[in-house]
Chain A
Amino acid sequence: MASTKNIKLSFLSVFILTLVGWLVFGTLSSAVSPAPAAAEETQGIALGAVQDDYVGSETCRGCHESQFDKVAMTKHGKLGDLASWKGKVVGCESCHGPGKAHVEGGGDKTKIKILANLDPKAVSETCLACHAGKENHNNFRRGDHWRNNVGCTDCHSAHGTSFAPQRAGSIVQIGPAAAQRSNQADRAMLKNSEPQLCMTCHTEVKAQFSKPFRHKVLEGTMNCSDCHNPHGGFEQKQTKLAVGADASCIKCHSQMQGPFVFEHAPLQLEGCSACHTPHGSSNAKMLKRSTVRQLCLECHTNIFNVELDPNLPAGPHTQTSIRTQNCTVCHSQIHGSHSSRFFFR
């Protein structure tokens, strides 16, 4: 116990020291105090670019007023007012690059960066120039979406999205009807409600979420991002972790967190999806198999070893008994037990 407390204290100390470090070295002070005048003068300049190449967003507004108005309502359009962004390129040219040549060319489209014409990875690099530092985005360059050329603007609209008016609700939330849901569309500048966006490509999960036993994603109670990090991660399937190092399932299914005195090995070693189908299933408890024994037999071929053990009475697993075809009838605490190594109690 003492060692655990020491670990806790160590972590807390490191955390506090790090925080104090930031404060001492002036990071916070630069965050809350006005930027130096010299920095303000250089607003609109990107690293590696020449000051004169930038024309400012007001110039863009002259021709692109509707886009300007839309962006102005978003966080992207408000960064110029923030102290920590002084001296940085903000507004249209932060993504589209310096606009002077474009303006002088009479709106020459070849002289401005048009994201729609770029490879998705190049689009993402543009976004990551600012967004890479956030923990959730740190692994985008190693994620499945990156690998498969799904770029940021496939899901997000940098110009902001319109708040769609709602129409009558239904428990059926697949298809264009669902696109009308505000749900999460207004958050994170997503182009559409989150499940609808994800299912555009991940078509197979539509069927899974329509099964009798399912997580309530189509109903809006849950979102894909409750369990997955669409921006990539160190876990397979881009799943999230909960409560530090636990599987994302534990966030809600807290009674399975353990540790148990006797743990069913897959709980920690293989994860919940060794036995359960997380999206949806026709099977009770969202199990991968409708007959429980099949699920057990796929790992426990040697379960009947007890029959061979002369120290144990023969017969507990006879095929002719209904009870023994439903393993969890006796092994009722199958996730783990504090008192029975066979998960009986």
Chain B
Amino acid sequence: MNIIISQTPQLETLRALCVRHTTLFFLAAATCIFAGSSLGQTPTPSPGSDDRYTVKASTEIGGRWVDVYGNENKFRSDLNYKNGFRVFDSSILIEDNGDASDFKVFDSALIMASGWGSDPSGFVRANMERTGLYRFDATVRRSTYFNFLNNHAIGNDKRNLHNADRRRNFGDLDLILLPENRNIRFRFGYSYNFADGAGSTSTRISRGDVFPVYLDVNSSAQDLRLGADGSFLGFNMSGTYGRRLFRDRTHFSITSGDVGDVPTNANVIFSQDRRDPVNGETNFGIFSVQRTFAERFDFTAKIIHSATETSGRLQEYVLYRHPTNNQIIRDEYNVPWDATRPQTRADVGMTWRITDKFRLSNTFTYDGFNINGGNLYTLTPFPGNPTRQFSYAVTRYRRYTNLLEGDYQFNDRVGVNLGWRYTHRQVRLEHLFDQNIAVPSAAVVPDEEENSTNTIIAGTRFKPMKNWSIFADIEAGKADNVFTRLANYEFLNYRIRSRTHFDKFSINASFISKDNDNPGQLEPATGAPAVAPAFITEVRSRIFSSSIDWNPIDKISLSGGYDYHWLTSEVSVLIPLGAPTGLTPGLSQYFVRDNYFFIDAHVRPIKNVTLFGSYRWNKDQGYGDRPIPALTSNLILGGYPTDFKTPEFRATIRLSKYIDWNIGYQYYDYQENPVQNIVYGIPFQNYSAHMPYTSVRIYLGKGSIDR
């Protein structure tokens, strides 16, 4: 049985409808208003024109139909298109051509919108400005996120446990006063980020089964920023203060009995209710300074300090049957907690233009933070005795990086650069998990790691012809590593790009190669002798990509490309084959052999008709024809074949000066072949979808004249 997730509250549906319809109303109203003011005009772009305003607007509205064959949940996880009305790209631009002496609210105002209605994501952007006085930018975005997959986070009973059907609303509003002023500028910003909806996660009880938990997601974050930029004593300076508030009221629950992912044992959860309200706050300040001395020496410095705090109290009640002793138990968890993270980053960059052709640059970066977290964990089982545990975890992180680079430009055709990056990092972990809080704790021995890395960076760019540029970079050395491994990453990355462009033809190609070796060491078991380093992760990646754009005549444009991504990851592991075999040295392999091809074509066979056709095909051969190892083998195989393709065709017919009619069709086909699904007999998530659509685009003002 799969979990059914849905946004049950009718209020949510109502709110979604309100937001959607308000947006559409806003767009329609704006279009009508501006249409009224622009249809009678004969606008010209010349500032000498008698017309005060130039309006260019177009809006496209229509509908899409979706017909899915196969796994609809996978389709929604990938695309999430729905039947119904939608707004395609729409925009309104108003320019005030008045003289400087005229009273103006704005010089230009631009509103753009796309994706509203039945699309999974949409945006409205507004940019309004009056040169010298202000600039206002606003972006409002909405995204629906659906995830319901049977090859990710599944339990022994083959249920997919981590699902989502959520909506996120984002917004950024930024106002700059005196934006072009050389001496001082003021900035004000506000951002919001709301998430709500349904979903599921998983939980375990008493080392028993895994159970799905229903989520009622509700979280929000809001930022407020204010700052000023300006120059003082020849230095360009910028200061920003910001504050973010974060809250999470997600509710976790199991409301009806569940037998877990192993139905044959005794473990059952009858009900669960978990609340872990989180309140968070971040205060941050950013200060930067820059000056160019004598047009030769550039100095830039920046310091950021942020202090983030979160706090909350987890409360959970769970009624369940124990997996082994068959008892009915009522557990109660009560965990007050808090955590802080003060962080400081400082960067200093200097570039010295020694000659017009030779530059030296040095960039120093410091990053340091502490994470201090603690809780008082109380588990009160009934029947049973309470368990109390005081925990704290401290992470102390300090990292210093210095990058020294030289850059020489031989002429306008050839240049080279060479650099050296040095990094030193200290990580200190200090953990205490003290179950006997009545007795003073033993001293905590912190776990400390310290490492240094050196990296060489080199690159060149040259132009064999005026229209042909080649870029090449190489980075080789060592990089920091997660301290669960006891050595640095060794890497060798290089890339080559070629860009050729003529009037009607351009061809681009690139090749990126990455070799990463991640040596590791097995930590000895408690009381066991140390084990020599024997483990290594090798990741090899090659990406070739290319594209061609060709516009032979005005009425035809073609664009196509091909990518190939080759990746092999091999990890030495100890494979737990289960008792009595125990741990066996083995290998975990993962393969990507991904081909991607696309072509787009625009053709205008007659004046009033434009045709568009596209085809894109992604085929990953994954592990290819390698045999799938038995579960008792010491080989693990990962990376599975997928194949998806989507052709699209569209015709645009110009009905009048102001109206285009569009009719189109898109097909989407997805096929997969995961190892896990094969071994355990889980159905593949294959599907195909037919998506015809039609729309009308209305041009208003100068938008109708330009086309």
Contact = CB atoms under 8 A, between A and B. Distances in A.
Interface of A: 1, 4, 7-8, 11-12, 14-15, 18-19, 21-22, 25, 27-28, 30-31, 69-70, 72-73, 75, 78-79, 81-82, 84-85, 88, 118-119, 121-122, 128, 132-135, 138-139, 141-142, 147-149, 163, 165-172, 174-177, 181-184, 186-187, 200-204, 206-207, 210-213, 216, 219-222, 234, 241, 243-246, 251-252, 254-255, 257-263, 265-266, 268-270, 274, 282, 284-285, 289-294, 297-302, 304-305, 307-311, 313-326, 328-330, 332-333, 338-339, 341, 344-345
A168 B88 contact: yes
B203 A332 contact: yes
A114 to B, nearest CB: 13
7 contacts: A149-B409, A169-B89, A259-B372, A304-B573, A315-B579, A322-B154, A332-B161
Closest 7 CB pairs of A and B: A244-B284, A175-B559, A133-B236, A244-B306, A169-B88, A261-B373, A308-B525
Contacts of B292: 128, 132
B569 interface: yes
Given A290-B638, A323-B210, 12 more contacts: A15-B239, A19-B239, A84-B182, A119-B412, A134-B229, A175-B557, A182-B93, A204-B510, A244-B304, A245-B367, A328-B162, A332-B161
B254 interface: no
B308 A257 contact: yes
Interface string B59-77: 0100000000000000001
Nearest to A86: B182
A interface: dominant SS: loop
Interface string B396-439: 01000000010101011001010000000001000101000000
- Determine the main DSSP class of B at the interface with A: strand
A241 B590 contact: no
Most interface-central of A11, A133, A213 (chain B CB within 10 A) = A133
Interface residues of B, number: 242
B66 to A, nearest CB: 12
A206 B703 CA distance: 29
B639 A289 contact: yes
B143 interface: yes
B45 A282 contact: no
Contacts of A1: 309
Contact of B576 (A175, A298, A319): A319
B110 A31 contact: no
A212 B670 contact: yes
A310 B379 CA distance: 24
Given A82-B132, A254-B221, A165 B600 contact: no
B512 interface: yes
B393 interface: yes
Interface in B604-653: 610, 612, 614, 616, 618, 620, 622, 631-632, 636, 638-640, 642, 644, 648, 650, 652
A210 B545 CA distance: 14
B484 A299 contact: yes
A95 to B, nearest CB: 16
A274 B579 contact: no
Interface in B367-413: 367, 369, 371-375, 377, 391-393, 395, 397, 405, 407, 409, 411-412
A261 B395 CA distance: 10
A257 to B, nearest CB: 7
A274 B704 CA distance: 49
A265 to B, nearest CB: 6
A123 to B, nearest CB: 11
Contacts of B373: 259-263, 338
